[in-house]
């Protein structure tokens, strides 16, 4: 019996001791609660950071997973918007390019007093050496108006005019022939004339060169305006190879044309030079 | 080796309190976050033999200490709430000893809900007396459901770890 009482007393003692320790700890923590919390947060900060990052990443992942339908719609919307913006950008770039082309063309034809109508190339028919361009009757385009590039390179002439479009027959067409001369910087020398004819498939050759003419490969050909359709001094091409045939009265030469319809998107119609 | 149990318990409460305050706020449902500290506390006291008290008191004090770190009030408020919950558990456990052996899972869930209510109600009363912000509304129910889900994980882990204390009950499942 005595032993039981002693054990009971010992248990109470133990409980009081632990209870006192807990209360004392709580009092201590409350007295220094700012420092206690500060120390705790200082120690736990690195782990908290990891958990916060983990929480963010996980919730982002699950959010995107659950919001799949919304994302899908948003994606479709963004794609459409992106395409629309790309189209606008393309239009703007086209306008800028078009404006730059016009500036170059105006600069190159400054001394010629040409009235130029800028036009976009809509189609190219290599088999027939024709080109479809924007601008027609409504824009004042008429048949036989010359078509050039911004670099003042001759492309051809208008053969058919629609309300808003026009067909251009290129100088490489078998139906085309124009008077040219060798560009000569030395004014004391006599000019060499000839005819540039189309041989199809965007190629041309020079014919009717007098046998005594001093021409050589690399000579630049420009329009001479003798046929009356094209204005003078438009760039045509350069002599690539000479064909001499003693049996013929005239020489001919293969010409590398300057025009490049495959890589041209903008041309100019000279509207104030028309064969009457 | 008993000291090892206390070190592990201390570390678990430390990590769980940080998880509760740093990780789980990102998974809040209607503003409710699972009370991991309470889940751990309940799992530990649930698997403590009925006639033992030391580990349970230690769990209540540790849970209270770490919960108090994040409570905008005095130290001891959460500790008090956890001690009230623990004492309630011991009282109910004494009278419901028969039932707990028959339907352990339901007993676990029911007791968890009851103690969670007691714990939250005690904190609410403390908040009125000590004037600190504490909501005790619809979030309580969401937090309870959320907590039960996590506590169930603790239940099955606890069953594996503390199986020897629960030999009688395990035989029934």
Give A47's contacts in chain B (Cβ within 8 Å): 15, 18, 22
What is the pLDDT confidence band of residue B97, given thresholds at 50, 70 and 90?
Answer: low
Q: In the predicted model, is pLDDT for residue B41 greater than 90?
A: yes
Residue of chain B whose Cα is closest to the Cα of A22: B61
**Average pLDDT, integer, range B133-143:** 80
Q: What is the pLDDT of residues B99-120, one digit of tens each?
A: 566 667 888 888 899 999 999 9
> CA–CA separation, B134 vs B81, rounded Å?
13
Asked if residue A104 has pLDDT above 50, the reply is: yes
pLDDT tens-digit series, residues A160-178: 888 888 888 898 888 888 8
The answer to whether A52 contacts B19, with C-beta atoms less than 8 Å apart, is: no
DSSP for A20-51 reads HHHHHHHHHHHHTHHHHHHHHHHHHHHHHHHH
Nearest to B75 among A33, A51, A55 (CB): A33
Question: Mean of the per-residue pLDDT values for chain A?
Answer: 82
**How many domains would you assign to chain B?**
1
The C-alpha of B62 sits at a distance from chain A's nearest C-alpha, in angstroms, of 11
Chain A residues within 8 A of B79 when measuring between CB atoms: 22, 26
B→A contacts (Cβ < 8 Å), by residue, are 14-15, 18-19, 21-27, 57, 61, 68-69, 74-76, 79
| Residues of A in Cβ contact (< 8 Å) with B25 | 55
Dihedral sign, Cα of residue B17, residue B19, residue B21, residue B22: positive
Mean pLDDT on A118-133: 82
**DSSP letter string, B40-97:** HHHHHHHTS-TT--HHHHHHHHHHHHHHHHHSSS-TTHHHHHHHHHHHHHHHHHHHTH
In B, minimum Cα distance to A59 occurs at: B26
CATH number of A114-270: 2.40.10.350
pLDDT of B75 reads 87
Amino acid A81: pLDDT: 92
What's the domain range around B33?
Answer: 2-172
What is the secondary structure of A208-249 as a DSSP string?
EEETT----TTPEEEE--TTSSSPTT-EEEEEEEEE--TTSS
Could you tell me the pLDDT band of residue A229, with boundaries at 50, 70 and 90? confident
Asked if residue B154 lies in contact with residue B43, where contact means CB atoms within 8 angstroms, the answer is yes
> Which is higher by pLDDT, B159 or A66?
B159
Percent of chain A with pLDDT over 70: 93
List chain A residues with CB under 8 Å of B22.
47-49, 51-52, 55
Q: What is the ipTM of this complex?
A: 0.79
Q: Considering only CB atoms, which chain B residues are within 8 Å of A58?
A: 26-27
Instruction: Name the residue facing B74 among A30, A52, A54 (closest C-beta).
Output: A30
Residue A245 has pLDDT above 80, yes or no: no
Q: What is the DSSP string of A143-184?
A: TT-EEE-TT-BEEEEEEEE-SSEEEEEETTSTT-EEEEEE--
Whether residues B22 and A48 touch (CB distance < 8 A) is answered with yes
């Amino acid at each position: 019996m005595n032993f039981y009482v002693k054990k009971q007393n010992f248990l109470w003692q133990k409980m009081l001791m632990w209870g006192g320790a807990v209360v004392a700890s709580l009092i201590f923590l409350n007295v220094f609660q700012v420092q206690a919390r500060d120390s705790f947060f200082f120690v736990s900060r690195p782990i908290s950071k990891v958990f916060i990052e983990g929480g963010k990443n996980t919730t982002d992942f699950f959010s995107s997973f659950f919001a799949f339908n919304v994302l899908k719609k948003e994606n479709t919307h963004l794609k459409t918007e992106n395409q629309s913006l790309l189209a606008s950008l393309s239009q703007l770039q086209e306008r800028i390019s078009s404006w730059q082309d016009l500036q170059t063309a105006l600069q190159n034809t400054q001394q010629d007093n040409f009235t130029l109508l800028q036009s976009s190339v809509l189609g190219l028919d290599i088999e027939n050496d024709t080109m479809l361009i924007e601008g027609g009757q409504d824009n004042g385009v008429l048949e036989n108006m010359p078509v050039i590039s911004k670099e003042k390179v001759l492309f051809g002439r208008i053969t058919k005019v629609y309300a808003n479009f026009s067909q251009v027959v290129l100088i490489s067409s078998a139906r085309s022939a124009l008077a040219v001369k060798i560009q000569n910087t030395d004014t004391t020398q006599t000019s060499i004339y000839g005819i540039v004819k189309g041989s199809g498939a965007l190629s041309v050759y020079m014919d009717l060169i007098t046998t005594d003419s001093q021409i050589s490969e690399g000579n630049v050909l420009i329009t001479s305006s003798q046929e009356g359709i094209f204005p003078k001094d438009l760039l045509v091409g350069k002599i690539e190879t000479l064909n001499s045939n003693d049996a013929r009265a005239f020489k001919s030469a293969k010409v590398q044309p300057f025009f490049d319809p495959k890589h041209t998107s903008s041309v100019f119609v000279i509207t104030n030079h028309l064969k009457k | 080796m008993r000291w090892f149990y206390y070190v592990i318990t201390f570390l678990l409460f430390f990590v769980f309190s940080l998880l509760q305050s740093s990780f789980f706020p990102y998974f809040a449902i209607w503003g409710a976050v699972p009370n991991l500290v309470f889940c751990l506390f309940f799992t530990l006291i649930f698997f403590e033999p009925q006639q033992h008290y030391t580990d349970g008191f230690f769990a209540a004090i540790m849970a209270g200490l770490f919960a108090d770190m994040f409570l905008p009030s005095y130290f001891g408020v959460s500790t008090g709430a956890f001690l009230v919950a623990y004492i309630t558990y011991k009282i109910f456990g004494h009278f419901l000893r028969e039932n707990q052996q028959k339907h352990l899972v339901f007993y676990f869930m029911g007791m968890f809900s009851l103690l969670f209510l007691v714990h939250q109600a005690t904190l609410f009363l403390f908040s009125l007396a000590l004037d600190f912000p504490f909501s005790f509304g619809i979030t309580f129910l969401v937090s309870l459901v959320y907590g039960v889900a996590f506590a169930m994980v603790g239940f099955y882990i606890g069953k594996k770890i503390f199986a020897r204390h629960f030999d009688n009950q395990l035989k029934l499942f």
